[in-house]
Amino acid sequence: MNRPTLERLVPDYVRHFEAYIPSKPDAELMKLYGCSRLYRLNNNENPLGPPPLAQAVIKRFPPPGAAVYPSGDSYYLRKKLADQFGKHPDQFLVGNGANEAITFVIKAFCEKGDNIVTADKTFAVYEWVAQFSGFEARLVPLKDYGFDWQGMLEQIDQRTKILFVCNPNNPTGTYWNRVTMRAFLDAVGGRRIVVLDEAYFEFVDSDDFPDGMSLMNEYPNIVVFRTFSKMFGLAGLRIGYLVADPDVVDIIRRTCVVYSVNSLAQEAALAAVGDTEHIRRTRELVAEGKRFLSRELTGLGLHTVSGEGNYMMIKLPMSDTLVYRKLMAEGVMVRTMTGFRFPNYIRVTIARMEAMEAFVEALAKVVRRP
């Protein structure tokens, strides 16, 4: 059999796209770096895990249930989300993580020659999905570590279909307040889809943070993303959702792959919705961890970037990839930021105090070493 002629078969925009290479499993990394334990501070995971009711669902999930197809449209979860947020179930679409929801939206609205607009230093999946789907991603530089709303407006042309706003922004923690958000939405004027990625919404402390869902009646071009991966500790089950005006959802639904969300994820998420005690405990942990890190890192003479969310960026006096390797040897895994276009920065997840102390101790060794 002849080998396929890939040069002829593969679109140019796929051929030139650089694939993301995920890290190896923890056990392999521990062998590679010779460490006996590993603190995972690279993915903004919740160290408390899922809420207690969701944990109970996971423990008692019947093995025969794995042989049965899940609800194709996450029926009961959409109903509970609607009750929780005062919406109609048909306004929700559930995906295999919010990443799948990004793909749904781009496929629904973009065609050849179209573009999206977002920031240059933010969650990269908006840019990636657009590019490997053959659409232009227009990237606007951050301003004071935050999205530049006027700069985004200047990038809009007749072929702009979607504007992606990560609010609060990952990795900087900056956010648009209600005044800025309304100014931006008014300027867009309903002529484009505006995605508000609120993956870290439940971590937000600021009183002037705008809830995208509350703006939806006034601005029906808004699509809000939320996830169960961060606050609700279900990252390993991959489940997130979007909510929008019914007419907008009706369009996006046409690009959805049904049955992509497994039964265990749906049931665990169903149990997690509305657990305010879990949110309170997590936010306390994050607040304590941020106070500790700010104090200790200032003591080390390091500049930090921190806002909303369960993470913090740290500027280093050396290569972030070099520091990553040295921290791994100490059993601490962080996120290098060169890939986010922040060279010589790392991002660290706020975790339990034991992990925070281990991180500071290891980082101090690295930055003080001649």
Can you give the pLDDT at residue 259?
A: 94
**Dihedral angle, C-alpha 270, 275, 279, 284, nearest 10 °:** -140
Per-block average pLDDT, block size 10, for the chain (370 residues)?
88 92 93 96 97 98 96 97 98 94 97 98 96 97 98 98 98 98 98 98 97 97 98 97 98 94 98 97 98 97 97 97 96 95 97 98 86
Can you give the pLDDT at residue 369?
A: 62
Angle (CA) 45-325-168 rounded to 5° is: 35
Look up the pTM and report it: 0.95
pLDDT tens, residue by residue, 212-244:
999 999 999 999 999 999 999 999 999 999 999
Q: What's the Rg (C-alpha) of the chain?
A: 21
CA distances from 87 to 180, 228, 244, 268, 315 (A): 25, 18, 9, 21, 42
CA distances from 23 to 28, 228, 259, 339, 362 (A): 10, 22, 27, 13, 20
Can you give the pLDDT at residue 72?
A: 96
How far apart, in whole angstroms, are the C-alpha atoms of residue 207 and residue 192? 28
